[in-house]
Amino acid sequence: MLTSYDALTAGVLDQAGARALLVGDTSGEMVLGDPSTVPVTMEQLVPMVRAVVRGTRTALVVADLPFGTYQSGPRQALVNAVRHLKEGGAQAVKLEGGRAVIPQVSALVAAGIPVVGHLGLTPQSIHALGGHRVQGRGGAGDRLLEDALALERAGAFAVVLEAVPAELGRRVSVSLRIPTVGIGAGPDCDAQIMVWQDLAGLTTGRAPRFVKRYAHLAGTLGDAADRYAGEVAAVRYPERAHTSV
Residue 43 is among the residues annotated as catalytic for this protein: no
135 close to 85: Cβ distance less than 8 angstroms: no
Closest to ligand KIV by CB, 33 or 139: 33
26 is a contact residue toward ligand KIV (CB under 6 A): yes
Q: Which of 59, 176, 195, 199 binds ligand KIV (CB under 6 A)?
A: 195
How many Cα neighbours within 13 Å face the side chain of 217? 11
Q: Which of 183, 199, 200, 202 binds ligand KIV (CB under 6 A)?
A: 183
Other C-beta atoms closer than 10 Å to the C-beta of 85 total 19
Residues 122-151 that bind ligand KIV (CB under 6 A): none
24 is a contact residue toward Na ion (CB under 5 A): yes
How many residues are present in the chain?
245
What does residue 64 show for φ and ψ, rounded to 5 degrees? -75, 140
Size, binding site for Na ion by CB under 5 A: 3
17 close to 54: Cβ distance less than 8 angstroms: no
CB neighbours of 226 closer than 8 A, spacing ≥ 6? none
Quote the Cα angle for 201-203-209, to 5°.
85
22, interface contact from Na ion, ligand KIV, none, CB < 5-8 Å by kind: ligand KIV
Return the bridge partners of 61, or none: 21
Contacts by 237-241, CB closer than 8 A, 24 or more apart = none
193 is a contact residue toward ligand KIV (CB under 6 A): yes
40 is a contact residue toward ligand KIV (CB under 6 A): no
147 is a contact residue toward Na ion (CB under 5 A): no
147 close to 119: Cβ distance less than 8 angstroms: yes
Q: Which of 18, 21, 51, 64 binds ligand KIV (CB under 6 A)?
A: 64
DSSP for residue 66: P
197 is a contact residue toward ligand KIV (CB under 6 A): no
Closest to ligand KIV by CB, 200 or 243: 200
91 close to 85: Cβ distance less than 8 angstroms: yes
162 is a contact residue toward Na ion (CB under 5 A): no
85 is a contact residue toward ligand KIV (CB under 6 A): no
**Residue 212 labeled ligand binder:** no
Closest to ligand KIV by CB, 33 or 240: 33
List residues near Na ion by CB under 5 A.
24-25, 64
**Active site (catalytic) residues:** 162
List residues near ligand KIV by CB under 6 A.
3, 22, 24-26, 64, 118, 160, 162, 183, 193, 195
